[in-house]
Amino acid sequence: MPKILILYYSRTGNTEKMANAVAEGARTVQGVDVELTYHATPEQLKEFDAIIVGTPTYHHDTTLDIKMLFEEAAAKNINLKGKVGATFGSYGWSGEAPKLVIEILKNKFEMNVTEPPLLIRYTPDPAGLEKCKEFGRRIAEGLVKAQHRH
């Protein structure tokens, strides 16, 4: 069964609301395993077929935890090539973080990026939460379809 990791950080709860909705959407798809967490080790990343990172933007940047995780994964030569990568996050005005992280997933780890980063300003409203659910659902469906091609 394809496994999806939704790894997020959130200081004031906005990205967390998004993460819960992304997980809810992904879980509507049969035949995928969805893990929602705010902590993972570089080695754990290898266990998943898709890695979805939720990061708010603070001071035009992603969080130190997320930076360290991928720095460490790179230093340990953790192979994530060909896995599905995606990012999302709440922001206030510039929203760089999900864009920075998707570049790392794509360029450093050669992950397969099928969705642009999903950005929502401040607290997601019902329409925003719906976008998050759809985002999670599309990624999960993509994995199930890819599995059937093999």
User: Which member of 94, 107, 125, 147 binds ligand FMN (CB under 6 A)?
Assistant: 94
Q: Interface with ligand FMN includes 20 (CB under 6 A)?
A: no
Q: Interface with ligand FMN includes 65 (CB under 6 A)?
A: no
Cα–Cα distance for residue pair 2/103, rounded to 1 Å: 23
Q: Interface with ligand FMN includes 112 (CB under 6 A)?
A: no
Beta-sheet strands, E only, within the chain: 3-8, 33-37, 50-54, 84-91, 112-113, 118-121
Q: Which two tokens stand for residue 41?
A: 């080790």
Residue 41 C-beta: closest distance to ligand FMN, Å: 22
Nearer to ligand FMN, 84 or 97 (CB): 97
Q: Interface with ligand FMN includes 13 (CB under 6 A)?
A: yes
Contact residues for 116 (Cβ-Cβ < 8 A; gap 6+): 102
Q: How many residues bind ligand FMN (CB under 6 A)?
A: 18
Q: Which two tokens stand for residue 25?
A: 């959407």
User: Which member of 62, 90, 99, 131 binds ligand FMN (CB under 6 A)?
Assistant: 90
Are 45 and 78 within 8 A, CB to CB? yes
- The binding site for ligand FMN (CB under 6 A) comprises 10-15, 56-60, 90-95, 122
